[in-house]
Amino acid sequence: MSTQADPLRWPAEAIWASVVPEWPGFSIEILPEIDSTNTELMRRARNAVHDPILLLAERQTAGRGRLGRAWHGEVGHALTFSLGLPYQPQNWSGLSLAVGLSLAESLGPDIQLKWPNDLWRQQRKLGGILIEAASQGGKSYAVIGIGLNIQLPPTTDLRTPAAAIAEFWQGATAPMVLERITQPLLKALKEFETLGFAPLQQRFNARDALRGLKVQSSDALEGLCEGVDSQGALQILTNDGRQAINSSEVSVRAL
Ligand code: BTN
């Protein structure tokens, strides 16, 4: 009997067939290891490679999170990939919220969203999103990185307690999760490009993990969280009235 873990089998063809009608030229690339799928797609974008792609790495050696943080994920414990898309939305605001909403809706009714980029379940972090953009000759290219915990991470020293998909989806594997989320996500991204965030506002607010809670932002706003507006900005009712936070550089925590 082999003591090695089974290699992961990725349903790349089925996913490709479900996506390519809406995203002509779409390709899927699966690597055993890379520094970071976001970093790699940004490197390619700088070399004028702007085709629509899903780049997945079974292991990242330098995975990146928001606000310059690292993102850790062991093989089989996390699903880590980036979408690189030629992308020209009229308004970029709310894009990370739209991505999170699509993932949450694909994964289940009790998945919540913590503004602006996190998926939560039972007050723990299930995954995160890192969006970057490149532009060349007036055309823009979006790199949308997604990291989801499939199994609970082995490390216990995380700043935020972790949740995992296998806790509510028995037997879930990274390939199964990828197959479930990709086509709805790429459809949602097409819709966002023309319609923006406004049509998603109510659905986001229904899953907002901070709504109704007293919160504090990293730029020192404090008050009652009232959900997001039609642009995806977080509304906080402070002692000085309602204030909106729309910078993805700001983080917010419940008090
Ligand atoms: C966060 O929670 O701060 C965002 C995490 C985003 C992690 C994903 S994993 C795939 C892609 N490549 C990266 O280096 N980061 C994103």
Per-residue pLDDT of the chain (255 residues; tens, 9 = 90+): 434 556 789 999 999 999 999 999 999 999 999 999 999 999 999 999 899 999 999 999 999 998 889 998 888 899 999 999 999 999 999 999 999 999 999 999 999 999 999 999 999 999 999 999 999 888 999 999 999 999 997 765 667 899 999 999 999 999 999 999 999 999 999 999 999 999 999 999 999 999 999 999 988 889 999 999 999 999 999 999 999 998 777 788 898
Q: Whose CA is nearest to atom 2 of ligand 1?
A: 128
Tokens 């089925």 label which residue?
A: 14
Q: Which atom of ligand 1 approaches the CA of 35 most closely?
A: 14
Q: To which H or E segment does residue 41 belong? A: helix 37-46
| Whether the CB of 96 sits within 6 Å of ligand 1 | no
Task: List where CATH 2.30.30.100 sits in the chain.
Answer: 211-252
pLDDT in the model for residue 73: 81
Is any atom of ligand 1 closer than 6 Å to the C-beta of 71?
A: yes
Q: Where in the chain is the domain with CATH 3.30.930.10?
A: 12-205
CA distance 161 to 126: 9
Give the residue, out of 40, 44, 80, with the most ligand 1 atoms within 8 A of its beta carbon, to mutate for a pocket test.
80
Residue 1 pLDDT? 40
Q: Domain 12-205 falls in which CATH fold?
A: BirA Bifunctional Protein; domain 2 (3.30.930)
Question: What is residue 87's three-state secondary structure?
Answer: coil
CA distances from 4 to 8, 13, 33, 140 (A): 12, 26, 17, 43
Mutation pick for ligand 1 pocket among 55, 60, 64, 82 (CB with most ligand atoms within 8 Å): 64
Q: Are 251 and 67 in contact (CB under 8 A)?
A: yes
CATH topology of domain 211-252: SH3 type barrels. (2.30.30)
Ligand 1 centroid distance, CA of 130 (Å): 5
Which residue from 53, 146, 148, 185 has its CB within 8 A of the most atoms of ligand 1, so it is best to mutate? 146
